[in-house]
Amino acid sequence: MAAGLALALAACATPPPASDPDALAAYKATNDPLEPMNRKLYAINDTIDTYAVKPVAKGYAAVVPSTVRTHIGNVLSNLNLPVVFLNDILEAKSRRAGDSLVRFVLNSTIGLGGIFDPAGSLGYKPHEADFGITFAIWGIGEGPYLYLPVLGPSGPRDAAGFGVGVISDPFFWVGQGAIVTALGWTRYSVNLLNTRASLLKPIDEVKRMALDPYATFRSLYRQHRESVIQDARDDHRATVPDWFTQPPDAQQQ
Amino acid sequence: MTIMAPRRHLLALFTAGVLVLTAPLVARADPTSDAKAMILSTGSALLKVAESNGSASDKQSQLQQLIYTNVDVDAVGRFVLGRYWRIATPKQQQDYMNTFRQLLVYAVTAQASSFQGAQFRVASADQRDLGVVVDTLVNIPGKPEAHVQWVVAPINGRPMIIDILAEGTSLRLTQRNDYAGVISQHSGDIDALIDAMHKQLARFQSQTAG
């Protein structure tokens, strides 16, 4: 315990002195007090990615055609829709919840278990929703930056959101036994592989262009999260059908 | 004649009045539509270069011309260096800006091939605090539709690009954080960043030559 505490303290970045207000403001804006430890974890993850995950993802992308990978991505997104729907409700975004419900029903049936996306063609477009976003809508701040083993860029809010997301997934509770456990791990592994394969070029490009990839990924992660949270906040679509007299505030949207 | 004269006079007065009232509207360019038109022409020119069969160096010189004409490179460069711009010496500023300009051209040239077959349309343009934000939707075959926003500000009366937001992430802010990361990892030494930029530029140049 004492050794762990000492390690965490040793891993803390030293804040600039108050005599340098610009540097202090930049330190606070970066909000990465555990930067030395985070950078070490990033280096470990990056090594694992370079020598294990990326080569496997490259092999997978070479063997599985891109159209099939898109369909696999569709199936995995469809499996995640119950959690997205739950978060839409918790965010009090009824039109988003409606989109998620229609997407799940149509894509699971006509879309053959989510392989195809007929709901998207009908105008029910996908959106991001998870517990990290929900907590942000509820007013919880992102907290200091954390680089987690395997999971990568995060923070206390998003990491807690990830945990709640796992246990709130109905598939986490359905059935038991070796087959169900194996299916769960298969889903997780295929998701990781399919996502990594889709990011082969973008990640290579970031690493090629960035002079400090750690700081670049931190910035991209934070901006992306802020952007999806803002999208959720800005979604004020009315729940009243088009043919009904619209309330005044909805007409202004 | 006596009746015609006042009538002509009145007509002239009326015409002059209309001209005086509408002149400011005609003379004052609308920054939103100017920005929209600029993005439309720059985007089309960019795609034309990406599609062309010219050699890599031809493409690079065409893109360089396009960037230097339509992007406020110096303003972007100063933004990217952030607070360190103020503490850099004039020599460091000059060296940094010179390298930054060249790196920007290499960065765009490297991306040009991924725009092949792309189509884009301007969705909307809004005046915001940081400038006019022109919203475009980019379709690249085999990829989901991407939302790209261009931030345009008037520089010497001409609209110029000062930032690009791809799916909500600002390119200049990301690069500022990248460069600040290098400087803070070297205890605030700006020369460490300039050195890293020189090395990156040399690498890009050797790759292009090879």
Using CB atoms, pick whichever of B111, B170, B200 lies closest to residue A211. B200
3-state secondary structure of A245: coil
Q: Where are chain B's structural domains?
A: 7-209
Region of poorest pLDDT, from B8-22, B39-53, B176-190: B8-22
Q: What is the pLDDT of residues A90-105, one digit of tens each?
A: 999 999 999 999 999 9
H-run or E-run covering B123 = strand B119-128
CB contact under 8 A, B179 and A224: no
Residue B124: beta bridge partners? B135
CB contact under 8 A, A210 and B178: yes
Regarding an ipTM greater than 0.90, the answer is: no
Using CB atoms, pick whichever of B168, B173, B181 lies closest to residue A212. B181
Backbone torsions φ then ψ of B53, nearest 5 degrees: -95, 10
Is pLDDT at B27 greater than 50 in this prediction? no
At residue B10, the pLDDT reads 54
A24 confidence band (pLDDT: 50, 70, 90): confident
CB contact under 8 A, A224 and B169: yes
Only one residue has tokens 């006019």, namely B132
Using CB atoms, pick whichever of A215, A227, A228 lies closest to residue B181. A215
- DSSP conformational letter for A111: T
Integer Cα distance of A210 and B26 in angstroms: 46
Task: Reduce the secondary structure of B137-205 to three states and give it as a string.
Answer: EEECCCCCCEEEEEEEEEECCEEEEEEEEECCEEHHHHHHHHHHHHHHHCCCCHHHHHHHHHHHHHHHH
Q: In terms of pLDDT, which residue wins out, A218 or A22? A: A218
Q: What is the pLDDT of residues A107-120, one digit of tens each?
A: 999 999 999 999 99
A6 confidence band (pLDDT: 50, 70, 90): low
CATH superfamily of B7-209: Tgt2/MlaC (3.10.450.710)
Q: What is the pLDDT of residues A148-170, one digit of tens each?
A: 988 899 999 999 999 999 999 88
Give the count of beta carbons closer than 10 Å to the beta carbon of residue B201: 16
CB contact under 8 A, A219 and B179: no
Is pLDDT at A11 greater than 60 in this prediction? yes
Integer Cα distance of A145 and A158 in angstroms: 10
Residues of B in contact with A226 (CB under 8 A): 168
Residues of A in contact with B80 (CB under 8 A): none
Assessment of whether the complete model's pTM goes beyond 0.95: no
- Which amino acid, one-letter code, is at A150? V
| Closest to B174 (Cα-Cα) out of B54, B99, B79, B101 | B79
At residue B210, the pLDDT reads 63
A167 touches chain B (CB under 8 A): no
Q: In what order do the strands lie in the sheet with B119-128?
A: B119-128, B131-139, B146-155, B158-166, B169-170
Say if strands B119-128 and A146-148 run parallel, antiparallel, or are unpaired: unpaired
Q: What is the CA radius of gyration of chain A?
A: 21
CB contact under 8 A, A224 and B167: yes
As a whole number, mean pLDDT of residues B52-68 equals 88
As a whole number, mean pLDDT of residues A7-25 equals 74
CB contact under 8 A, A205 and B197: no
Average pLDDT, rounded, for chain B: 85
Distance from first CA to last CA of chain A, Å, rounded?
A: 54
Q: Pick the residue of A74, A211, A216, A226 with the most B CBs within 10 A to test the interface with B by mutation.
A: A211
Residues of B in contact with A23 (CB under 8 A): 83, 188
Beta-carbon pairs below 8 A across chains A and B: 64
